[in-house]
Amino acid sequence: MTAIAVLLSFQLKADACTGITLRTTNGSPVTARTIEWAGNDLGSCYTIVPRGYSQRSYTSSGSKDGMMFTARYGYVGLAVEKEEFVVEGINESGLSAGLFYFPSYGEYESYNEAYKESTVSDLQLVSWILSNFQSINDMKKAMYNIHIVTLDPRGSTVHWRVTEPNGRQVVIEIVGKQLHFYENKLGVLTNSPGFNWHLTNLNNYTNLFAGPIYSREIGELTLTAFGGGGGLHGIPGDMTPPSRFVRAAFFQAASPKQATGEKAVMQAFHILNNFDIPIGIQFTEIQTVPDLPSATQWTVATDIANRRIYYRTMYNSTIRCIDLKAINFTKVKYRSAPLDKEKKQPVEMVNIGK
């Protein structure tokens, strides 16, 4: 399958990602997100990229004839469809980056073969960022000197978030062929419309709050809430990006700060349970539903301070971890391996004896 065909088949259907950011009691950030795809198994894998590893970007020509870039920093990434297409990762300096789909609202420049040596495909920008930078400011300066293109104009555009170890986070969008950087102090990201629109839309929900609704009197009647958490009654529950953004913002804000990165990671997985998309709801009655356990193919959380990336998949909800501190990025060889050794949920039988 050509790179363009892979990209197009992926981008036409993938339109749901939900990202949050938690902080520990000492302020260390933990980024977490889901990735959805209802069409087929993405064949996701992890990649270990050593310092000095060189790779060349694909371009709209369908070939690997774009920019050649060499890793100044080793990194670990999670990729989809092809091992070059890293959509979430962290490098050894602690810079974290991720790709989120942004259909209908982004617009890249057109591919110009004359600039192919400075051209990076949108699905390889995360790899370029992780390979080259340890700070957002250095990345921003360099991005004005490259050309970001899609592999096929029929596919969706994307936007990105990048997070430093100190917690600073930016969202990158290319709209009207122009780069835009937004400071993301909230730490939430989903998909279309644009990031600033989502922030403005939160003003529609100023009536929501964490906690119970207390009883009140209406004439001679006493009204009592049916259960706890009534302050969030009316929060949008559908799977569209605006609704997921609102839910993520309030769930994240209500989450108590954890003492350690590992505890914050576990909290992030619990929050993102609420954003799993059941397989089938994206299809009509006359469409064939793919044989997948879930439309949420995997969930990942990154403990930036401790340089650990955790993930679970639609096949196996066991949380697995890659520790960057255990990797010698000057000696390790480039490698790529499937996220799941076996695509089957392990079940532990409880031995209750006789």
- What is the rounded distance in angstroms from the CA atom of residue 17 to the CA atom of residue 30? 17
State whether residue 336 is helix, strand or coil.
strand
How many CA within 13 A on the CB side of residue 143? 25
User: Strand (E) positions, the chain?
Assistant: 19-23, 29-36, 45-49, 54-56, 68-70, 75-79, 86-91, 96-101, 119-121, 147-149, 158-163, 169-175, 178-183, 216-218, 221-223, 296-303, 308-313, 320-323, 335-338
Burial 76-114 (b: 16+ CB within 10 A, else e): bbbbbbbbbbbbbbbbbbbbbbbbbbbbebbebeebeee
Phi, psi of 9 (to 5 degrees): -65, -35
Counting every residue written for the chain, the total comes to 354
* DSSP code at position 132: H
Residues 6+ apart with CB under 8 A from 196: 182
Q: Decide if 321 is catalytic.
A: no
- What is the rounded distance in angstroms from the CA atom of residue 166 to the CA atom of residue 149? 30
Among left, alpha and beta (phi > 0; psi -120 to 50; other), residue 6 is: alpha
Which is the catalytic residue, given 6, 17, 126, 146? Answer: 17
Among residues 157, 7, 98, the alpha carbon closest in space to that of 299 is found at: 98
Among residues 65, 66, 122, the alpha carbon closest in space to that of 97 is found at: 122
Where in the sequence numbering do the catalytic residues fall? 17
